[in-house]
Structure 1
C-alpha cells in the first residue's frame, strides 16, 4: 500500500480532513431523520481515497470515526444512538465508530484503482456510490453483530429479520447518502482527474507495453 504522499497530495488530504471536521461539527454534515442521520461525511473520505489511495482513505476514515466517537460523548454535537450504545458498552461503541469507517475508506482506495483501469471518470462515480453503500452496510452489520442482543437494538428490530431490519432502518437515509455521494464524489473526482491531482492508474495495456519495452 502506497503511504508516501507528495506535497499536493498532503495538501489535499489536509483539506479533506478539514472539510470532514467542519461537516462533522456543524449541521453541514448531518441531516437528522429519526434515530439515524443522513451523513454526507463519507464524501471527503471517498475523495481522499480517490486522490491518495487506500492509505488516504484509511486516514480519512479514521478521522470520520473519531468525530463519530466524540459525538457519542457529546463533543461537537450529540448522537442519541451513539450515546445510548456507549452507555451499554463503551468498548463495542469504539469499534462501531472506527472499524466500519476505516474499512470503508481503505476499500474505496482499492475499488477506485481497480475500476479506473477501465474508465477513470466512471471509477469516481462508482467509488462515490460504494462509499455510502459500504459505510451503511458495515455500520449496520457491526451494530447488529455487537449490539443485536441488547434490549435497545431488539426494541428497534421489533421482531424483524436482520436483513429486513437493516433495509428498513437505514431506508431513505441510505438512499439519500448513496445519491449525494455518487453525484458529488463523481463530479469532484472528475475535476481532480482533469487537474492531474489524482495519479494515473496504469492500464493492462500500458503494463504490457512497459514489459515488452
Structure 2
C-alpha cells in the first residue's frame, strides 16, 4: 500500500474522530446549559406580570448549530429535568398532576419536549437554504417555544382537562373548551416567549453559525 495513501487515510480517521468528539462536547455543553437554565433564574426573564421562559433557546441552538439528534437530546434533557421537578415537588403544576396520572405527566413533560425538538429541527433543516437561509434561524427560534407550549398544553389537556383540578383552573378563565383554556392560561405568555425566542435564539444562532463556520 502506498505510504501517502495510508497517511491520508489515517488523517481522515483522526479528523473523523475529532469531529465526533467536537459533536459530543458541543452537545454535552448545551445539555448542561439547558439543565442549568431549567433549574435557576437564568432560564427566565422576569417582567412585572410574567416570567418568560427561555429554556428552549439552548435546545433551538443545538438543533440549528449541531444537528437534529443534538436538538432532540437537549429536548430530552429539558423534558427529563421537568419530569424530575414533578417527582420532587418543585414543579407545582406537574407535581399535582403526577398524583392524578403519572403517565400523563411523563408524556406532557418528556414526550412533548422531544417532539418539539424533532419537529423544529426538521423544519429548520427543510428551510435552511436559498432565500430562507437567514430567516430559518429566526423561524426556528420562534417555533421552538411556540411548539413547546402547543405540545405541552396539548398533552396536558389530553390527559387532564376533564379532571377536577384542571377544571378548577379553567373556571378561572371562564373556559369551557380546551382551546379556550390554553389561550386563557398561556396565550399571552406563549406569544411573548415566541417573540423572545425568535429574537434571542435566532440572533444567537446566526452569529454563532458564522463564528463557527457552520452552513
Normalised TM-score (structure 2): 0.82
Equivalent in the alignment of 1:207: none
The 3-state SS of whatever aligns with 1:142 is helix
Corresponding position: 1:134 with 2:131: no
The 3-state SS of whatever aligns with 1:38 is strand
Offset at residue 124 of structure 1 (A): 0.6
The 3-state SS of whatever aligns with 2:52 is strand
Q: Deviations over 1:156-211 (max 9, x none)?
A: 1224222121111112221221121111111111112212453x3xxxxxxxxxxx
Aligned residues: 192
1:166/1:32 Cα in 2 relative to 1: closer, same or farther (>3 Å)? farther
Aligned-partner Cα distance in 2 for 1:30–1:94:
23
Q: Which runs of 5+ in 2 are unaligned?
A: 1-16
Corresponding position: 1:178 with 2:191: no
Corresponding position: 1:155 with 2:188: no
Aligned-partner Cα distance in 1 for 2:206–2:133:
8
Pick the aligned partner of 1:72 from 86, 100, 111: 86
Equivalent in the alignment of 1:117: 129
Counting only pairs closer than 5 Å after superposition, residues 163-174 of structure 1 correspond to structure 2 as 163-174=179-190
Higher mean alpha-carbon deviation, 104-113 vs 157-166, is at 157-166
Equivalent in the alignment of 2:98: 86
Aligned-partner Cα distance in 1 for 2:185–2:83:
21
The 3-state SS of whatever aligns with 2:176 is coil
Aligned-partner Cα distance in 1 for 2:98–2:213:
39
Kindly name which structure, 1 or 2, has the bigger radius of gyration based on alpha carbons. Answer: 2
Counting only pairs closer than 5 Å after superposition, residues 39-78 of structure 1 correspond to structure 2 as 39-74=53-88, 78=90
Corresponding position: 1:12 with 2:26: yes
Q: Which runs of 5+ in 1 are unaligned?
A: 201-213
Conserved? CA contact 2:104–2:155, under 8 Å: no
Which has more helix, going by share of residues?
A: 2
RMSD: 2.1
Normalised TM-score (structure 1): 0.83
Conserved? CA contact 1:108–1:127, under 8 Å: yes
The 3-state SS of whatever aligns with 2:67 is helix
